[in-house]
Structure 1
Amino acid sequence: MSDHSALFSLPHQQQLCPLCQQPLVMKSSKSGPFLGCSAYPACHYTKALHQHETTIVKVLDSELCPQCHHPLAVKNGRYGMFIGCTHYPECHFVVHEQDEQPEAEKLACPKCKQGQLTERVNKFGKHFWGCDNYPKCKFLLNDKPVAGHCVACHVALLIEKKGQLFCADKGCGIKQPAPE
């Protein structure tokens, strides 16, 4: 038996599902490998193989957490850089991007008319704009929304693509004339 095959023939400790005590098995998804319960679909337990560590890049001694008054820090996590409390896990305070948006930039959601469009970032780092009334309203845009009215269909929202304005209605999508 070669050294390589010996690695695969070693007995390994079988992990059990904490919910139903069935063996956990290696599974794969578009996000990568993970451990899942062998009793699926009766049991939906999953466990990540890789823990996503958050590292502190710089402590901001002059900025204090509004919840626990410990210093805030610039951190690097699973979805990129963010500002959070140094007293984690006791304190879960995080500065969210939408908290930093000025009120003038916020636009009313054209679908539900109750929420406002806020900029968000998906797990791949791509920016998009969605209604802050989610999950009740699932309106979203991949391009930056701009206040205005379409000259053709009169929808009360435009989007900016490559420096030009277009109607936000997917059915219309007409290029808008440059503002005067």
Structure 2
Amino acid sequence: MKKIYVVRHCQAEGQAPEAQLTAEGAKQAEQLAVFFEGITLTKVLSSPFVRAMQSAEPLAREQKVEIVVEEGLAERVLSTAHMDNWLEKLQETYRDLELSFDGGETSRAAMNRIVSVTEALWNEDGEAAVLVTHGNIMSLLLKHYEESHGFATWVKLTNPDVYVLEKEADIVSVQRVWKE
């Protein structure tokens, strides 16, 4: 694979795995399909969460490829316990990649999970692939390839958002390509 596009899902009704796209999110998913016109995609992979699948559907339809459901693209669980200060706690997990909370996944574990998906794709034939995922895990993937990404990147992500990863001589570059 020469390029991997990483897409944050479109606007959704909530954070639960079964949360669907809003009416605006459905329009955004159609805009994503238009955004990728002229780019030949070999694969479209999606988180199993409904909002990610719905974000990928118009793109897969237009590209005439099936969506591959990839568990490694699921959003990271910060904690299974309610936290009033979840934003502060999330920020802490970008400073300490080994930090975890009740029932939650460390940043390092989530990062390794999504990196394993991209690393497998680099070895496949094709021009480009798309990964449709979620903001937190997406920002951790970007951080893996370029240390400058992290919590501040997560804060600035839009719904949807698109970054492209390009690999040349074992060096991966990261660039935001979505224009709102």
Flag the structure with higher strand content.
Answer: 1
TM range (shorter): under 0.3
Structure with greater Cα Rg? 1
Question: Scaled by the length of structure 2, what TM-score is found?
Answer: 0.23
Flag the structure with higher helix content.
Answer: 2
